[in-house]
């Protein structure tokens, strides 16, 4: 592939040879040599710049904002899009003040509705009443980013449930490239292009074969400095939408990016996918033939859904949840991509803005004092080497921050940190990989000195920063989310596939909820469904005929479906199929009902 050919080059820096973004192990390479080479794999300049952003924001906004759905089906009327108070500067200003350095807008989500007046389809803002059909959300956001010196990225969904040509592969690929060309030519610099991995069937039931190579070349031609994320080879999806990175996170990884034709074969041979826990250890290196600098990005929404839904105004993630996410993303050698969805007015909601401010204030307070003296002089650490650091007098710490100079490769495999008190060294914590940034939390410790030991490293690690902070404890203030009003003790399961339940008495229902057990995805989970009620368990009335738990596979949170009007029911039945269209298995504990007042 052309894309690899141009990126696969090496350069000389000091003694070691460096490989930029990709390397291949010649046949028969020993494990020892592989580890040595892996240590010399480095990011491309744009990957390095991207990693340093640390905090980036997603803006999921579009027709779903007005329908209350997570995945539109493409039949939506553009007339529904009318954000009367749209203010892109309000989005960017608030995100900037909260420390975010890039925003990525869903220029087109799976429903195909374009937020810019594209020439490729009528299904866009140009057909909406907003700004009299003369508006352009992409441009307004771009201008706000320029004003506030914010980096700017676009999400363009390859899956398009509106385009008639979807599934006619060559035609749709041309259509998609035309959309990409508009976005990458008319809005100044674009720093990140985000291609989602979700890929369903077209309106005609046909599968689309994407021409990733041509998409890639279009980006290279029009925005050569942009990073290409997810279905791209610069930035890797961390593997969940919960805001949870890996404690051991290698940016130099054996995972072949999905856009390469050989990815399926390579990844299968190694028995891995983007969700695998281990993507870079010595064990997987032993089996691999090539290696990629392919760092992870943690994408998560500040609310349960990706799009704004008024009923989630009370479910904005707590400060505790956001700080945990922060330590488990930025603190785990990842970049955080936090979604803050504009509401129907076209503004970030007050609750989200208030939480962003709290989150920023928390970090500001924590980082205000670095207790380590002279922690940012380069330390070339071989395996087993330690270095002591003096601390400011009276230091009380509970966070250690370590950084490697990844421009020279990612090398630390494990480390430990000790504190000296009254002449006695005490272990404060241990960790594995460091990479661009690793933050380790441990119980409060009042110590006079710190000792960091690199227990194991590939070649010699380049530690460029050692810092220690005190983070205030944050109380958890999220209540239990209640999604079932009846006691299951009174229920009787009268059918298991499909699941049918006798509720024990006749009730008036406003909604039902499907909540995957442990909020975990499984292959037998429900995706498409119909929901019926009955008075006697024999004659059923369909309340929802063609429902879809959109995105449940990636974001397996409770899915509440509110009926158009309350219904009376003694029996309920959920008929469902899985994402791969086989019969779903739903447990009684995964179902809840909400009574009408
Ligand atoms: C997913 C999509 O299906 C969601 O709707 C959302 O856009 C998320 C960021 O990616 O795969």
Q: What is the DSSP string of 303-318?
A: SSSSS--GGGGGGPPP
- Does 372 map to a domain? no
Q: 500-531, pLDDT tens digit by residue?
A: 999 999 999 999 999 999 889 999 999 999 99
406, 352: one domain: no
Per-residue pLDDT of the chain (597 residues; tens, 9 = 90+): 434 433 434 444 445 689 999 999 999 999 999 999 999 999 999 999 999 999 999 999 999 999 999 999 999 999 999 999 999 999 999 999 999 999 999 999 999 999 999 999 999 999 999 999 999 999 999 999 999 999 999 999 999 999 999 999 999 999 999 999 999 999 999 999 999 987 777 667 778 999 999 999 999 999 999 999 999 999 999 999 999 999 999 999 999 999 999 999 999 999 999 999 999 999 999 999 999 999 999 999 999 999 999 999 999 999 999 999 999 999 999 999 999 999 999 999 999 999 999 999 999 999 999 999 999 999 999 999 999 999 999 999 999 999 999 999 999 999 999 999 999 999 999 999 999 999 999 999 999 999 999 999 999 999 999 999 999 999 876 666 788 999 999 999 999 989 999 999 999 999 999 999 988 999 999 999 999 999 999 999 999 999 999 889 888 989 999 999 999 999 999 999 998 889 999 999 999 999 998
203, 88: one domain: yes
Residue 380, Cα to own-chain centre: how many angstroms? 33
d(CA 113, ligand 1 centre) in Å? 15
Q: Which atom of ligand 1 is nearest to the CA of 307?
A: 5
Chain position carrying tokens 């609310």: 303
- Does 361 map to a domain? yes
CA angle in degrees (0–180, nearest 5) for 250-256-258? 120
The 3-state DSSP class for residue 9 equals: coil
Q: How far is CA 334 from CA 33, 48, 284, 368, in A?
A: 27, 12, 20, 22
562, 460: one domain: no
Distance CA 572, CA 534 (A): 6
Mutational pocket test of ligand 1: of 554, 556, 557, 559, the residue with most ligand atoms within 8 Å of the beta carbon:
554
pLDDT at 6: 36
Q: Which atom of ligand 1 is nearest to the CA of 106?
A: 7
Q: Which atom of ligand 1 is nearest to the CA of 198?
A: 11
108, 154: one domain: yes
147, 64: one domain: yes
- Both tokens of residue 175? 């259509």
- Does 479 map to a domain? no
- Nearest residue CA, atom 6 of ligand 1? 306
- Does 142 map to a domain? yes
Q: Which atom of ligand 1 is nearest to the CA of 70?
A: 5
- Does 478 map to a domain? no
d(CA 195, ligand 1 centre) in Å? 10
CB neighbours of residue 423 within 10 Å: 6
- Does 74 map to a domain? yes
246, 282: one domain: no
Q: Which residues contact 376 (CB under 8 A, 6 or more apart)?
A: 464, 465, 466, 467
d(CA 56, ligand 1 centre) in Å? 16
The residue among 313, 340, 366 that closes a domain is: 366
pLDDT at 4: 41
CATH of the domain at 118: 3.20.20.80
Contact 340, 58 (CB under 8 A): yes
- Nearest residue CA, atom 4 of ligand 1? 551
Q: 146-176, pLDDT tens digit by residue?
A: 999 999 999 999 999 999 999 999 999 999 9
Mutational pocket test of ligand 1: of 111, 198, 297, the residue with most ligand atoms within 8 Å of the beta carbon:
198
CATH of the domain at 417: 2.60.120.260
d(CA 196, ligand 1 centre) in Å? 7
133, 118: one domain: yes
Contact 561, 547 (CB under 8 A): yes
d(CA 553, ligand 1 centre) in Å? 10
360, 238: one domain: yes
pLDDT at 13: 43
Mutational pocket test of ligand 1: of 196, 200, 338, 552, the residue with most ligand atoms within 8 Å of the beta carbon:
196
The residue among 415, 434, 469 that closes a domain is: 469
The 3-state DSSP class for residue 339 equals: strand
d(CA 314, ligand 1 centre) in Å? 22
pLDDT at 16: 65
The 3-state DSSP class for residue 473 equals: coil
User: What pTM does this model have?
Assistant: 0.91
The 3-state DSSP class for residue 492 equals: strand
Chain position carrying tokens 């997810």: 230
Q: At what angle do helices 88-97 and 350-367 cross, to 10 degrees?
A: 20
64, 143: one domain: yes
- Nearest residue CA, atom 11 of ligand 1? 198
Contact 53, 102 (CB under 8 A): yes
pLDDT at 477: 66
Ramachandran class of 354: left when φ > 0, alpha when ψ lies in -120 to 50, beta otherwise? alpha
CA torsion, points 50, 51, 56, 60, in degrees to nearest 10? 70
Distance CA 67, CA 77 (A): 10
Q: Which atom of ligand 1 is nearest to the CA of 551?
A: 3
d(CA 473, ligand 1 centre) in Å? 32
221, 314: one domain: yes
HEC profile for 83-120?
A: CCCCCHHHHHHHHHHCCCCEEEEEEECCCCCECCCCCC
- Does 477 map to a domain? no
The residue among 438, 469, 500 that closes a domain is: 469
Secondary structure percentages of the chain, helix, strand, coil, to 5? 25, 30, 45
Pocket of ligand 1 (CB under 6 A): 70, 196, 198, 299, 306, 551, 554
d(CA 192, ligand 1 centre) in Å? 16
d(CA 245, ligand 1 centre) in Å? 17
- Does 483 map to a domain? no
Closest CA to 190 of 148, 238, 227: 227
301, 392: one domain: no
543, 452: one domain: no
Distance CA 24, CA 57 (A): 34
pLDDT at 207: 87
d(CA 502, ligand 1 centre) in Å? 35
CB neighbours of residue 421 within 10 Å: 12
pLDDT at 11: 40
Helix (H) or strand (E) holding 179: helix 169-185
Helix (H) or strand (E) holding 350: helix 350-367
Q: Which atom of ligand 1 is nearest to the CA of 58?
A: 9
Pairing of strands 335-339, 55-59: parallel
**Across 348-498, where does the E strand assignment appear?**
379-381, 386-390, 396-404, 412-421, 424-431, 438-446, 449-457, 461-469, 492-496
Q: Which atom of ligand 1 is nearest to the CA of 60?
A: 7
- Both tokens of residue 393? 């007098």
CA angle in degrees (0–180, nearest 5) for 45-11-192? 15
How many domains does the chain divide into? 4
Contact 498, 576 (CB under 8 A): yes
d(CA 307, ligand 1 centre) in Å? 10
Residue 241 belongs to domain spanning:
46-251+295-366
């Amino acid at each position: 592939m052309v894309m690899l050919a141009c990126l696969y080059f090496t350069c000389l820096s000091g003694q070691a040879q460096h490989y930029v973004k990709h390397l291949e192990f010649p046949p028969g390479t020993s494990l020892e040599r592989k580890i040595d080479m892996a240590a010399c794999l480095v990011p491309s300049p744009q990957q390095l710049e991207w990693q340093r952003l640390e905090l980036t924001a997603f803006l999921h906004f579009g027709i779903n904002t007005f329908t209350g759905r997570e995945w539109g089906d493409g039949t939506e009327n553009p007339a529904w899009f009318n954000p009367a108070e749209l203010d892109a500067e309000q989005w960017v200003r608030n995100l900037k003040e909260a420390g975010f350095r890039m925003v990525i807008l869903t220029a087109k989500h799976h429903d195909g509705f374009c937020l810019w007046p594209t020439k490729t389809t009528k299904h866009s803002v140009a057909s909406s009443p907003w700004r009299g059909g003369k508006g352009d959300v992409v441009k307004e956001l771009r201008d706000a980013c320029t004003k506030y010196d914010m980096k700017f990225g676009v999400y363009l969904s390859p899956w398009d449930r509106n385009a008639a040509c979807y599934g006619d592969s060559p035609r749709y690929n041309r259509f998609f490239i035309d959309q990409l060309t508009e976005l990458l030519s008319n809005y100044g610099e674009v720093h990140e292009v985000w291609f989602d991995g979700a890929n369903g069937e077209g309106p005609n039931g046909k599968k689309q074969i994407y021409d990733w190579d041509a998409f890639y070349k279009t980006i290279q031609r029009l925005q050569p400095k942009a990073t290409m994320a997810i279905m791209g080879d610069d930035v890797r999806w961390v593997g969940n939408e919960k805001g949870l990175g890996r404690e051991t996170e290698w940016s130099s990884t054996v995972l072949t990016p999905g856009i390469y034709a050989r990815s399926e074969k390579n990844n299968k041979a190694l028995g891995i996918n983007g969700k695998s826990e281990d993507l870079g250890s010595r064990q997987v290196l032993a089996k691999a033939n090539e290696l990629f600098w392919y760092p992870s990005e943690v994408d998560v929404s500040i609310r349960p859904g990706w799009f704004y839904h008024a009923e989630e105004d009370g479910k904005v993630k707590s400060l505790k949840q956001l700080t945990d996410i922060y330590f488990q993303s930025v603190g785990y050698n990842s970049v955080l991509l936090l979604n803050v969805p504009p509401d129907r007015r076209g503004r970030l909601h007050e609750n989200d803005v208030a939480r962003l401010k709290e989150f920023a204030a928390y970090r500001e307070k924590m980082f205000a004092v670095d207790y380590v003296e002279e922690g940012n002089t380069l330390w070339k650490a071989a395996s087993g080497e330690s270095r002591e650091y003096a601390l400011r007098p009276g230091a009380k710490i509970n966070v250690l921050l370590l950084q490697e100079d990844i421009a020279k490769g990612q090398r630390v495999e494990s480390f430990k940190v000790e504190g000296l008190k009254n002449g006695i060294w005490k272990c404060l914590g241990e960790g594995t990989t460091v990479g661009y940034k690793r933050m380790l939390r441990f119980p409060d410790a009042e110590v006079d000195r710190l000792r960091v030991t690199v227990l194991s490293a590939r070649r010699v690690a380049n530690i460029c920063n050692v810092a220690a902070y005190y983070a205030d404890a944050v109380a958890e203030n999220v209540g239990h989310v209640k999604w079932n009003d009846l006691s299951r003790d009174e229920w009787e399961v009268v059918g298991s596939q499909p699941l049918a339940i006798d509720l024990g008495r006749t009730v008036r229902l406003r909604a039902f909820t499907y909540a995957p057990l442990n909020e975990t995805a499984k292959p037998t989970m429900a995706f498409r469904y119909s929901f019926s009620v009955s008075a006697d368990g024999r004659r059923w009335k369909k309340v929802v005929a063609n429902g879809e738990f959109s995105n449940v596979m990636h974001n397996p949170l409770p899915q509440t479906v509110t009926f158009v009007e309350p219904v009376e029911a003694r029996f309920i039945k959920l008929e469902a199929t899985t994402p791969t269209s086989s019969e779903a298995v739903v447990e009684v504990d995964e179902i809840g009902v909400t009574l009408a007042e």
